[in-house]
């Protein structure tokens, strides 16, 4: 999987529709399909999972997350 810039992709679809004289409703439907796709990386979910998985070694320490756990959470993009 790779991340794309959905807004840029939709601009390209609109431009291609204009150049090739495609009906606007077809370009709009394609853009709706793009908007309907799930987000591959959810920063809020990643931050939330890191916070939930954080722990303190002592009462006065700052919270921390084990490196292996943090890497797994980041790679998942917040998607469980």
63 within domain boundaries: yes
Residue 79 pLDDT: 64
Count of domains for the chain: 2
41: pLDDT strictly greater than 70: yes
For residues 36-55, give the mean pLDDT: 83
The reply to whether 31 and 54 lie within a common domain is no
21 within domain boundaries: yes
Cβ contact 14:27 at 8 Å:
yes
- What burial class does residue 54 get, using C-beta atoms within 10 Å of its C-beta: 0-12 exposed, 13-18 middle, 19+ buried? middle
d(CA 75, CA 26): 35
For residues 67-74, give the mean pLDDT: 86
Residue 80 pLDDT: 63
Residue 59 pLDDT: 61
65 within domain boundaries: yes
Residue numbers of the domain that contains 17:
6-35
Residue 16 pLDDT level (bands cut at 50, 70, 90): very high
Q: At what angle do helices 6-19 and 24-35 cross, to 10 degrees?
A: 170
E strand intervals along 1-80: none
For residues 39-66, give the mean pLDDT: 78
């Amino acid at each position: 999987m790779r991340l794309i810039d959905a807004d840029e992709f939709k601009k390209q679809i609109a431009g291609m529709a204009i150049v090739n004289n495609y009906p606007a409703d077809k370009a709009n439907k394609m853009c709706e399909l793009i908007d309907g796709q799930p987000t591959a990386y959810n920063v809020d979910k990643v931050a939330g999972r890191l916070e939930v998985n954080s722990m303190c070694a002592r009462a006065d320490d700052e919270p921390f997350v084990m490196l292996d756990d943090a890497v797994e959470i980041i790679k998942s993009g917040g998607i469980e």
